[in-house]
């Protein structure tokens, strides 16, 4: 069965650089979520999109932005990267805003040096 | 927002032992999922279980929604069961629309 695809798997950036993470949800899933997991922490909600419109927002820094495109894939853009942005970034997708549960991608490990 | 508490925070077992992990939540929920995060960081969905009991091989889970807790049972544990087990809940309405809130997790170590 198709899963949630994230790219890249690993990313190393320098401080103040920009990073773009991509997420391809399960076909026919209409909702995409982004989570950030710092070292030793639980995943924290950043932002979600339902039918290509932003539906909810968590503790996402102003330096971060995201969007969902017409083909339902989503991108998380992070600018002016800081050391503290080093984390695992997960994308998840669901049908009907979580009604049948969420499926998570394998994550992107971002390291800022 | 909704609060999720998991216990114990850490658990060390010998291979073959059984264990029970607990998840308490502070309000009624519409969605509850158990995840296993393996040493490579992948979040593997174990159960979607807002209520009732499910079993999948050596794993089973029970959610008692009226009492606001869920239990994950691991029987005959194997070294590959090691990792962090997360409980995550979702409550529709109020300030917690359509997003999963995670507990702090239980770190399970299974020794050979």
Q: Which residues of chain B carry a pLDDT beneath 70?
A: 94-97
Contact A32, A93 (CB under 8 A): yes
Q: Does A107 contact B at CB distance below 8 Å?
A: yes
pLDDT confidence bin for A100, thresholds 50/70/90: confident
pLDDT confidence bin for A2, thresholds 50/70/90: confident
Q: Name every chain A residue with its beta carbon within 8 A of the beta carbon of B99.
A: 33, 45, 48, 56, 58, 98
- Residue A85 three-state SS: helix
pLDDT value for B98: 75
Phi, psi of A83 (to 5 degrees): -55, -35
pLDDT value for B17: 98
Domains and CATH numbers, chain A: 5-112 (2.60.40.10)
From the list B108, B95, B94, the residue with the least C-alpha distance to B34 is B108
Report CA-CA distances (Å) from B111 to A1, B41, B69: 32, 20, 28
Q: Do B86 and A42 make contact, defined as CB atoms within 8 angstroms?
A: yes
- The DSSP string of B42-108 is -EEEEEE-SSEEEEETTEEEEEEGGGTEEEEEE-S--GGG-EEEEEEEE--STT-TT--EE---EEE
Domains and CATH numbers, chain B: 4-111 (2.60.40.10)
pLDDT in tens, A8-66: 999 999 999 999 999 999 998 989 999 999 999 999 999 999 888 998 899 899 999 99
pLDDT value for A106: 95
Contact B35, B86 (CB under 8 A): yes
Cα separation, B94 vs A54, in Å, equals: 17
* Option in A42, A88, A99 nearest B103 (CB): A42
pLDDT in tens, B70-93: 999 999 999 999 999 999 999 887
pLDDT value for A70: 93
């Amino acid at each position: 069965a198709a899963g949630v695809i994230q790219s890249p798997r690993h990313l190393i950036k320098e401080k103040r650089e920009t990073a773009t993470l991509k997420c391809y949800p399960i076909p026919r899933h209409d909702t995409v979520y982004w989570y950030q997991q710092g070292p030793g922490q639980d995943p924290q909600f950043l932002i979600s999109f339902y039918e290509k419109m932003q539906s909810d927002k968590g503790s996402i820094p102003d330096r971060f932005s995201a969007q969902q495109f017409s083909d339902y894939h989503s991108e998380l853009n992070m600018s002016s990267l800081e050391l503290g942005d080093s984390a695992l970034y997960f994308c998840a997708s669901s049908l009907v805003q979580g009604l049948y549960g969420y499926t998570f991608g394998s994550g992107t490990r971002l390291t800022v040096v | 927002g909704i609060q999720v508490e998991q216990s114990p925070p850490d658990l060390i077992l010998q291979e073959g032992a059984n264990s029970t992990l607990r998840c308490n939540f502070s309000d009624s929920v519409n969605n509850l999922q158990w995840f296993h995060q393996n040493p490579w960081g992948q979040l593997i969905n174990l159960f979607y279980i807002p209520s009732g009991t499910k079993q999948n091989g050596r794993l089973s889970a029970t959610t008692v929604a009226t009492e606001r807790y869920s239990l994950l049972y691991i029987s005959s544990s194997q070294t590959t069961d090691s990792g962090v087990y997360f409980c995550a809940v979702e409550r529709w309405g109020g300030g917690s629309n359509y997003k999963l809130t995670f507990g702090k997790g239980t770190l399970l170590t299974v020794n050979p």
